[in-house]
Amino acid sequence: MFSKEYFNYLLKSKKYLLLFVFLLTIMNILSNKTVDITLGIECVICFGLAYFLPVYIFSYIHNKKAVDTFFSMPISRKAMLITAIIFIILSCYIPLALATTVFCVSKEIGLTTIVYLSELLVAISAIVVFNTAIYLTANNVLDGVIMICAYTALPLAIYLLCDSLAASYIAGVINVDVPFIGYLSPIYLCIKTVEELMYQGTNWAYTIGLIIILIVFSIILIKAYVNRKVERADTPSDRFFSYPFIIYVYVFICLIMISSANEYNYSTILEFLKDNFIIYVILFAIFIAAHFIYKRKLYFSYKLVAFYVAALIISLIFTSTLKTSQGFGLADRMTKTDAFARYEYTGYTFSDSLVKEYRNKINNDGVIYYVSIYANDYPQYRFTNVELDKQTYDILEKIRLNGKNDFYNYNKRKSSASGTLNVITKEQANYSYQIFETIDYNTLVSLAKDKHVIVRIDTDSGSYRLNANGELVKDY
């Protein structure tokens, strides 16, 4: 399945490009930069080649005259494909392997060289096969490049969508953790593999993910190349996973993100649509322009309008359902008080009772800057493996639940946020809530009675701690 003659042809025809890459590698190695920077630059060069070479080597597939010439050569299509893929992989891999070996041997950076080089080979092979398979879904060079860019960015777009939905509809979420999305992206897995190898050692999960991508897309690539019809060259890219599929996917993602980013601020959908009408018009114009690139001519149909309107309605229904169901119930995933290990509250608007107490006892004209509550989480006195009093849990849970309810009742809020409550679970998950009600002085005293809680008040005359007797004690 490997053609020595075709490999030699590729080697001779691309010798100047290979020489240029080799010189870049030598210059990078001799640059006397740190190991991290040098290997990082080499990874950028080689992974960049893994994107460029599939387009360059297989450009003939999208040219009617060239594809007839190549497919009439006395070599099977499968052998031609496998030989070209091996050539591309070696062109990307050898410079990186050379730089890595030099540093592993001469600089003694402590990497297990064989393991490192083996995992880099898997990473580069996966990304080359993936890019080539995606490139062949198109019928011309421009569309092939667009497909590679679109499918490379798709996992990121999905992640940003999940992050936007979580931030808008799941109370307490700071950032979304959706690890499986990363495993859909070969470039992400390659970057994480290099990071793990350089700093922490082997992470087999990333390698296994790359191997799965390599196997799956190798099967897709071989089937697509061997069965490809030469008549497809230089025609509109209308295969299922090219156009218009990728256009529809990105437009739908954008519609949901627009809705999730703005819809919460409005009491009615009509009001939301009115204020965001221009945004939707611009997106529709982009949608039509994408079809122009696809068809290579001005194209407008009632079907495009119907799809766009239907996708818009579905996105609004979807986000409205998320809103009314409180993120499909995900906001209530932590309902047991013993699930939380630590609380930290920072307030910047204060109750009248606290201000009065401070001015009567400490400073007649004083100003309070912050109120901080550290429940099992004071930076200088971190308590570990302890349980807060039930009364403390009840108070803090009430504050948290009020913050959660205020999150879902945006239009009913009577004031701006007075503080922020951060909650850390026993599994080290971190949640954050905006608190709109001020915490009165008596509640602060009740919290201060728990020996694992510190209530600190920062003022213009210094910092104070509230003790169990309700007294403000200078905090040095």
Q: Per-residue pLDDT for the chain (476 aa), expressed as one digit of tens each?
A: 788 888 988 999 888 888 888 888 888 777 766 767 777 788 888 889 999 999 999 999 998 888 888 888 888 999 999 999 999 999 988 888 887 777 665 554 445 667 777 888 898 999 999 999 999 999 889 999 999 999 999 999 998 898 888 888 888 877 777 767 888 888 888 888 777 766 666 677 888 889 999 999 999 999 999 999 888 888 888 888 888 899 999 999 999 998 887 656 666 778 888 888 999 999 999 999 998 888 878 778 888 999 999 999 999 999 888 888 888 877 776 554 446 668 888 888 888 888 888 888 777 777 888 888 888 755 444 445 567 778 888 888 888 888 888 888 766 665 677 889 888 877 677 888 888 888 888 888 888 888 888 888 888 888 888 888 888 888 76
For residue 266, what are the domain limits?
247-330
C-alpha–C-alpha distance, residues 359 and 366, integer Å: 6
Give the residue carrying structure tokens 């409205």. Answer: 320
Whether 148 and 194 map to the same domain: the answer is yes
77 in the same domain as 192: yes
**Could you tell me if 257 and 358 lie in one domain?**
no
Q: Which two tokens stand for residue 384?
A: 């570990």
Query: Do residue 189 and residue 306 come from a single domain?
Result: no
Instruction: Please report whether residue 241 resides in a domain.
Output: no
429 found inside a domain: yes
- Last residue in a domain, options 330, 345, 361: 330
Residues 196, 57, single domain; the answer is yes
Do 324 and 346 share a domain, yes or no?
no
Nearest to 258 by CA among 242, 272, 246: 272
Same-domain check for residues 319 and 341: no
Residue 165 located in a structural domain? no
What is the pLDDT, as a whole number, of residue 79? 92
Domain match, 428 and 462 both: yes
Pair 210, 122: CB distance under 8 Å: yes
Residue 79 forms part of a structural domain: yes
Considering the entire predicted model, what is its pTM?
0.81
Count of structural domains within the chain? 3
Domain annotation covers residue 43: yes
Among candidate residues 281, 266, 288, the one with its CA nearest the CA of residue 312: 281
Pair 290, 149 in one domain? no
Phi, psi of 469 (to 5 degrees): -90, 5
Q: Are residues 130 and 32 in the same domain?
A: yes
Got the DSSP string for 338-349? GGEEEEEEEESS
Last residue of a domain, one of 303, 330, 357: 330
My answer on whether 259 and 372 are in the same domain is no
Residues 15 and 105 in one domain: yes
